[in-house]
């Protein structure tokens, strides 16, 4: 999708299923890994989760170039802010920074709908955003992308209060697999970031399904 919101078959697009789950001991972010170009599946191992701070990551959904640019800007600005204040930026501050970045470009928006999640001294948090900078904190879970409606069905049915990161990892895998089975724009392997107070652990699931 191009920056003027029109479909362009020459632009890599991440149709995507991305999600985040709040746990009692951290956050799980998960995506699949298929990128398309028009009707072509251009890549089945496209990275869709980026670590942007020691205990904060973001998923990407939308135009690949726009999403990657936003991730780079966020990573650089959070590192600079940490240097200025001498400590890690909170998850809320990171989400607010991304919201401002997207809102400032609303006339010619970045085509991206990320889920941002992480852990700080106040606990685990996830936020969902849209291309114009709308910002919502999700108390339990959130999802974006073309497969999100399918993933939400699994999350609504199986999420429970007090879920651990290990339990949430398995739930995220089931939700992404369900989306891959029904959403033609979602496919490839499953990418997971398990975020706790110790940091970010990346997990790759080589899923043979689509």
140 closest CA partner among 51, 27, 11, 18: 27
Q: Are 25 and 196 in contact (CB under 8 A)?
A: yes
* Annotated catalytic residue 16: yes
Which of 16, 17, 90, 128 does the annotation list as catalytic? 16
Q: Coil, helix or strand for 208?
A: coil
Q: Who contacts 135 (Cβ-Cβ below 8 Å, separation ≥6)?
A: 95, 96, 98, 99, 127, 128, 129
114 closest CA partner among 150, 101, 170: 101
Q: How many CB atoms lie within 10 A of CB 170?
A: 13
Buried b (16+ CB within 10 A) or exposed e, 186-206: bbbbbbbbbbbeeebeeeebe
The catalytic residues are 16
């Amino acid at each position: 999708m191009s920056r003027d919101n029109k479909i362009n078959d020459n632009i890599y697009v991440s149709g995507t299923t991305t999600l985040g789950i709040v746990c009692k001991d951290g956050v799980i972010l998960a995506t699949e890994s298929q990128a398309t170009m028009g009707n072509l599946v251009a890549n089945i191992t496209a990275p869709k989760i980026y670590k942007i701070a020691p205990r904060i990551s973001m998923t990407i959904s939308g135009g690949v170039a726009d999403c990657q640019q936003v991730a780079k800007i966020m990573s650089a600005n959070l590192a600079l802010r940490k240097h200025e204040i001498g400590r890690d930026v909170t998850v809320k501050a990171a989400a607010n920074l991304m919201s401002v970045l997207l809102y400032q470009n609303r006339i010619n928006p970045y085509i991206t709908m990320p889920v941002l999640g992480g852990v700080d001294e106040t606990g685990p948090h996830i936020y969902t955003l849209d291309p114009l900078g709308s910002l919502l904190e999700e108390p339990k879970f959130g999802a974006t992308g073309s497969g999100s409606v399918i993933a939400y069905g699994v999350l609504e049915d199986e999420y429970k209060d007090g879920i651990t990161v290990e339990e949430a990892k398995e739930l995220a895998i089931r939700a992404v697999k369900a989306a891959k089975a029904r959403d033609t724009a979602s496919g490839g392997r499953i990418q997971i970031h398990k975020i706790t107070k110790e940091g970010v652990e990346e997990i790759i699931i080589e899923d043979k399904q689509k």
